[in-house]
Amino acid sequence: MRKPPMDVLRAFGLERQRLQPASPDGRVWLTDAAVLKRRRLPGPAGGLRWEAELRAAAARAGWPAARVVPTGDGAPAVEFEGWCWTCEGRLPGEPRELVTVAAWRIAGRLLGRLHRDLAAADPGEQRPGLGKVWELDLVTGAAGAGTFNQLVTALGEEYPELAAAVRRERYRNLRELARLGYPELPEQPVHGDFSAKNLLWANGELSGLVDWEFSRRDAALCDLAPLLMPFEPLEPQFARALFEGYAAVRPVSNQEFGLLPALVRASLLWWVAAELVRWRLEGGPPASIAQTMQVRFPAFERYALGLGFLRENVRG
């Protein structure tokens, strides 16, 4: 596995630190006190500063959010051979799977509290280089890969049926989000990747909330919707507990609830956009895109028909 370039290590003052890989693809490296990340979707420097300020605001509200570590000359990142490298403080603890009803209820309450606290720290301006969940051109453009449609067209040259499925779901999702009033929902800062793998625990306490790379301003439920479809539909008892915990802290309106299936589909398309970038810039077969379109979307369609059982737990 190729280690981070020495120029990158020097920029962050890590050239004499012992490095330990934390991901099989060499994207994340650890020292005793820092986490070094190689990123494709950082956006402009202004976006990285926006992220750093949101992390700091969360920390002031009592959340264990790691501080962004700038380079020696104050830059938020280092660019090297087409990649962007960032550094942040290392937090204690390890992630743990959510395997009980109680654990999912706690996760819901944590997310509700996070949204309440981030709303109070809302800068009122969108993160440079990222946008709302349906603004996929900003996701792909931030990585220098062109527009979403350009990537789908390129995919279609090799995999026409797969590209047609992506295009069909994209147009359907745009129509349903507009029809159900997504543009009118209040916007606030969201984490962008709130999940079990990004919650660290030590001695029974939350010790870290990590991976803020996709933080932005959006509808609050854009953080909750992906939890219903991480890779396959969330078991009903867990979904119920998640909503009970969340709504106990932040009530969910009927309009938000009505938009939930559309926001889940939007989150799947956001994933497709990120995977299209990876496919275009790094090569290889689009296996993850095919899995999402051919397995995850159909599975969610069956699951969405029964989501009404959550309504009894929605307040507002």
Tens digits of per-residue pLDDT, 17-38?
999 999 998 899 999 999 999 9
Higher pLDDT, 310 or 162: 162
- 277: Cβ contacts below 8 Å, ≥ 6 apart: 40, 41, 139, 140, 143, 145, 151
Residue from 221, 270, 213 nearest 51 by CA: 213
Looking at residue 42, its pLDDT comes to 55
Under the banding of pLDDT at 50, 70 and 90, the label for residue 289 is: very high
Looking at residue 44, its pLDDT comes to 72
- pLDDT, average across residues 37-53: 83
Looking at residue 118, its pLDDT comes to 98
- pLDDT, average across residues 58-63: 98
Under the banding of pLDDT at 50, 70 and 90, the label for residue 1 is: confident
Higher pLDDT, 43 or 299: 299
Query: Percentage of the chain with pLDDT > 90?
Result: 86
Please give the biggest Cα pair distance in the chain: 57
- 108: Cβ contacts below 8 Å, ≥ 6 apart: 224, 241, 242, 243, 244, 245, 246, 247, 248, 249
Whole-number Å distance between alpha carbons of 127 and 217: 7
Looking at residue 128, its pLDDT comes to 92
Using one digit for the tens of pLDDT, what is the confidence trace for 72-122?
Answer: 999 999 988 878 899 999 999 999 999 999 999 999 999 999 999 999 999
Looking at residue 45, its pLDDT comes to 82
Does the structure show a pLDDT above 90 at 267? yes
Does the structure show a pLDDT above 50 at 316? no
Under the banding of pLDDT at 50, 70 and 90, the label for residue 43 is: low
Q: What is the mean pLDDT of the chain?
A: 94
- pLDDT, average across residues 182-204: 97
Using one digit for the tens of pLDDT, what is the confidence trace for 211-266?
Answer: 999 999 999 999 999 999 999 999 999 999 999 999 999 999 999 999 999 999 99
Structural domains of the chain sorted by starting position, each given as residue range(s) with its CATH number in brackets:
6-90 (3.30.200.20), 95-313 (3.90.1200.10)
